[in-house]
């Protein structure tokens, strides 16, 4: 099989699960006749019919609520947020109802809420957000964030099959940039397991999403210019987080830099740093460092967006400082 894009790998995963399990259906704004804002579900309505690929009103709370009810009744809904920014309209439904349904009433809620997230595409503040931290502290939810084509496919399939609600974050900057040859047969990525994207010995970068690729670029640059051997850990799943993989890389290199595209204050990096401090403090030979977006809404202007978001050189600069500590 030839190389496929991140977007096509996601399409394949959805398509295969729709074929495999008649309980799986898709709902969201313009997912049917139009094929989705980014064409992820193009051709699905023709293949599976309007009963399984449902165009909804513009109401994210209604989309998630309908998905939850269907999940309670034994179906496997995949709810698309046209842009993940607007998942905020369904925050109440997700945190107060969906996340607590099993605890409160013993109700299984096997559903996926997926949508395009992230910046680097000049989308401005309403179409570029990374909302993972808003849901990260909510027991009952799972959060996955693939960085590769293989994981885009493997994690959507695993999410659909999971018995609990999953927020599936797909980075629009990666949709058509990232390509990979997928293996024949079933592709499944276990929820809750990180991936070692690059081995190294001098320091570790812990990251996820689009900044996996920025971190790998920085690691290449540091190896070439500074002779530094940088390890890169792709978390893949944020909730539940793979603490064991994080602690292994910290114990190996003794220095850690956490990189994510979300804003700094209250971001996931702070929780990762706290866990390292609790579980692997004795292994550290330097302070835990962070490279994140600035604490501002994401600007539309290209020069301003580039300044606000983490860039390869920002990561390399922080890594050099940490390596020399």
How many Å apart are CA 50 and CA 68, to the nearest integer? 19
Judge whether 61 and 55 are in contact, CB under 8 Å: no
Other beta carbons less than 10 A from residue 99's beta carbon:
21
* DSSP tag of 183: P
Q: Starting at the edge strand that comes first in sequence, how are the strands of the sheet with 203-207 ordered? A: 195-198, 230-234, 203-207, 256-263, 289-293
Which DSSP string do the residues of 91-143 spell out, in sequence order? Answer: HHIIIIIGGGHHHHH------EEEEEE--SS---TTS----HHHHHT-TT-EE
Token pair 């640059």: residue: 221
Nearest to 160 by CA among 191, 115, 195: 191
Evaluate whether 320 touches 314 at the Cβ level (below 8 Å). no
Start-to-end CA span in the chain (Å) = 46
d(CA 160, CA 276): 31
Per DSSP bridges, beta strands 179-181 and 166-171 are: unpaired
Q: Which residues are catalytic?
A: 127
């Amino acid at each position: 099989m030839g190389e496929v894009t991140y977007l096509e790998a996601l399409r394949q995963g959805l398509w295969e699960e729709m074929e495999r399990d008649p309980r799986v259906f898709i709902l969201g704004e313009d997912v049917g006749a139009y094929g989705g804002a980014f064409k992820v579900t193009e051709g699905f309505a023709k293949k599976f019919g309007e009963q399984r690929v449902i165009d909804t009103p513009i109401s994210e709370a209604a989309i998630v609520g309908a998905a939850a009810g269907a999940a309670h009744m034994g179906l496997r809904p995949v709810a698309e947020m046209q842009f993940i920014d607007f998942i905020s309209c369904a925050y109440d439904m997700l945190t107060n109802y969906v996340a607590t349904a099993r605890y409160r009433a013993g109700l299984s809620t096997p559903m996926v809420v997926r949508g395009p997230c992230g910046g680097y595409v000049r989308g401005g503040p309403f179409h570029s957000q990374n909302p993972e931290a808003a849901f990260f502290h909510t027991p009952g939810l799972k959060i996955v964030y693939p960085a590769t084509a293989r994981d885009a496919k493997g994690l959507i399939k695993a999410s659909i099959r999971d018995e609990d609600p999953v927020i599936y974050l797909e980075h629009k900057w990666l949709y058509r940039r990232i390509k990979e040859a997928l293996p024949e047969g079933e592709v499944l990525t276990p929820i809750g397991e990180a991936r070692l994207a690059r081995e190294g010995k001098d320091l570790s970068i812990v990251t996820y999403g689009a900044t996996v690729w920025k971190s790998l670029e920085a690691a290449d640059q540091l190896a070439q210019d500074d002779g530094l051997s940088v390890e890169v850990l792709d978390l893949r799943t944020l909730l539940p987080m793979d603490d064991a993989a994080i602690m292994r890389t910290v114990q190996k290199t003794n220095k850690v830099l956490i990189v994510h595209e979300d804003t700094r204050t209250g971001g996931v990096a702070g929780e990762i740093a706290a866990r390292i401090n609790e579980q692997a403090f004795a292994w550290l030979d330097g302070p835990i460092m962070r490279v994140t977006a600035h604490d501002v809404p994401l600007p539309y202007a290209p020069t301003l967006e580039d300044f606000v978001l983490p860039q390869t050189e920002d990561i390399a600069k922080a890594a050099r400082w940490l390596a020399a500590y």
